[in-house]
Amino acid sequence: MVDSLLKFGTFIPLCNQLSASPSSSPRSLFMNSLNIHHSPTAAATTSNQPSLLVFSGGTAFNGVVEELKKLTTSVAHVLPVSDDGGSTAEIVRVLGGPAVGDIRSRCLRLSDESTSEALAVRTLLGFRLPLDARQAKLEWYSIVEGEHPLWKDVSKPYRETIRAFLAYFQNQILRRTNESFSFSNGSIGNFFFAGARIFFQSLDAAIFLFSRVSQIPTESLVLPVISTNDRLTLGCELWDGMIIRGQNEISHPTSGSFQLIDKVNSSALPSRIKRVFYMSSEGSNLLHEVFPPVNPSVLEQLRNVDCIIYGMGSLFTSICPSLVLLGVGEIISSRSCAKVLLLNGTYDRETSGFSASCFVTAITDALNRTYGHLNNSLKNNPSQYINTIFVPKDGQIPVDIEILAAQGIVHVVHVESVHDPKVGIVYEPTSLIQALADLLI
C-alpha cells in the first residue's frame, strides 16, 4: 500500500515539472502549467466593487462570507496562523510549520460550488475523517489512492493535482519514523495544504494552489498575517501577571485533542487578558517573546482598501494576533477610510464582562502595542483605528454610548440578528451585508 501511495501516476511528473523551473514563482508556474479552468464567475469585473480587508479567525466570520460575495468579491481575508487545536495540532506536532486550519476554513467558504465538479472538490477538501483511529487511517488510504467515492465527480486534472499533494503529505509522515501520526478527525483540506506548503516551502504558494483548485475568485485574497514556514505559538499575559501559552489554552482549553470545543461555556480565566504576543516554539526558553514580521501583502492591502473590518469572533486569539505586529497600527491609523468593528453578540471566555468600549480599548491597545516594548509602542487614539461599530440586536454585549463617544466613536449601527443554537446571538447575514453596503456605497 505504501508503494502505491508514493508511486502512483501523477506525482512524480508533476514534481519534476515544478522543480524544473526553480526561478518561476509558484503563481506564474501554476497559471501556465496546470490544466485547470476557472468558472466564468471567477473572471467577473470588480471595478465597481468596494474593496475590503477583514481581520478575522477561521470560524465566526465564515457565516457571512457567502452573503458578502453579493456585495463584493474584492476582499482580503487576513487570518492568524497560530491555532494549535484539533487536526491542525497533529500536523504541527509531527511536521511542524504554521497552523493552516483557519486559512483552509476560509478558502473553503470562498470556493466555487456552481458546478457539480466544483462542489465535489469543495466536499473533498472539506471532508473530515472518522474519530476512530483505525477507520480514519483506512479511509485516508482510500482517499489518497483515488478509490474513495468522494472522487466521483472530480475530473482528471483536479484529481491528479490534489492526489499528488496528498501523497506528498503521506510521504512526509512516513519519513518521520520517530512520530506516529493520528488521522482521527483529520481534515483532508489541512492535509492537502500541509503537503503543498512543505513541497514548495512556501505558505503563500500553498494558498495559491488551494485557491486555484477550489476556484476562488482571483480578486478574493486569503492572507496569512505572517507568511512563514515556522511554527508560531501565541501567548497571553493576564492582568494578574499570569502567562498562558497556546491559543487553545487561552480561548477554549480541552482535556483531549479531539474533544468538542465549547467556546461559550468554557471555564473563566483567572483574570482578564492584558495583551497577546508571540512566543518561541523552539529551544529551552519557551516563554521567550518573539517578534515575527507581518506579511507584506497585508500591509499593501491595508494601504489601498476602501474599508477595514475587525470581524466578530474571539477577540484576543482571532483578531488581536493580526493587530500586534509592527506596521499594522501605523498604516491603519494613517488611513481615512471606513474602519468598522463588528461587535460580538455573545460573551466568551476571553471577553466575559466586556462592554463595547472594552472591545475598542483592547483593539486600540493591540494596534498601539501598548504593553509591549516601549520603543515599538504607539499612542494613537481609538478613533484613529475604529470609526464605526456594528452591533447585533439583542446581543449580550452592552453598548456604553457615552464611553464610546469619549473614545471618539459616535457612529453605532444596530443590525438584525438571529439566534444560533451553538453560539447564541449572531448577525443576520443579509442585514449585516446591507448595513455594510449602506456605509460604503
249: DSSP letter? H
Residue 39 has pLDDT above 70, yes or no: no
Could you tell me the pLDDT band of residue 374, with boundaries at 50, 70 and 90? confident
Of the candidate ranges 238-252, 301-315, 348-362, the one whose mean pLDDT is the lowest: 238-252
Among 3.90.550.10, 3.40.50.10680, 3.40.50.2300, 3.30.70.930, name the CATH number for the domain at 233-291+306-440. Answer: 3.40.50.10680
Burial 133-147 (b: 16+ CB within 10 A, else e): eeebbebbbebbbbe
Question: How far is CA 288 from each of CA 80, 85, 140, 259, rounded to the nearest angstrom?
Answer: 20, 21, 38, 29
d(CA 388, CA 309): 10
Dist CA 219 CA 230 (whole Å): 27
Task: Give the span between the Cα atoms of 432 and 305, in whole angstroms.
Answer: 19
Angle at 319 between CA 95 and CA 51, to 5 degrees: 105
CA distance 32 to 36: 10
Q: Give the residue, 403 or 19, on which the prediction is more confident.
A: 403
Burial class (CB in 10 A: 0-12, 13-18, 19+), 380: middle
Answer whether residue 35 shows pLDDT above 70: no
Please give the Cα distance from 362 to 382 (Å, whole number): 10
pLDDT attached to residue 429: 98
Q: What is the pLDDT of residue 58?
A: 84
CA angle 121, 125, 131 (to 5 degrees): 135
For residue 34, what pLDDT is reported? 46
What Rg value do the Cα atoms of the chain yield, rounded? 22
Question: Which amino acid, residue 337?
Answer: C
Mean pLDDT of 392-400: 98
- Listing DSSP states for 50-109 in one string gives PPEEEE--SSTTHHHHHHHTTT-S-EEEEE-S---SHHHHHHHHHH-S---HHHHHHHHH
Distance between CA atoms of residues 26 and 205, nearest Å = 6
pLDDT at residue 434, rounded to an integer: 98
Nearest Cα to 385, choosing from 280, 308, 437? 308
**pLDDT recorded at residue 321:** 97
- Looking at the DSSP assignment, which residues form a beta bridge with residue 390? 342, 413
Q: What is the per-residue pLDDT across 276-317, written as a single tens digit (0 to 9) for each?
A: 999 987 655 666 899 999 999 999 999 999 999 999 999 999
* pLDDT tens for each residue of 185-194: 999 999 999 9
Running DSSP on this structure, what letter comes out for residue 129?
-
Residue 255 clears pLDDT 70, i.e. is over it: no
- Cell 472591545 sits at which residue? 359
Please state the pTM of the whole predicted model.
0.88
1 vs 89, higher pLDDT:
89
Comparing CA positions, the residue from 71, 64, 73, 77 lying closest to residue 441 is 71
What is the pLDDT confidence band of residue 46, given thresholds at 50, 70 and 90? low
Cα gap 389→391, rounded to integer Å:
6
* HSE-CB for 367 with a 13 A CA cutoff: 25
427-438 per-position pLDDT tens digit: 999 999 999 999
Assess contact for 382 and 360: CB atoms under 8 A: yes
**Can you say how many angstroms the Cα of residue 137 is from the centroid of all Cα atoms in its chain?**
26
Residues 308 and 339: beta-carbon distance below 8 Å:
yes
Residues of the chain with CATH 3.40.50.10680: 233-291+306-440
The letter for the amino acid at 14 is: L
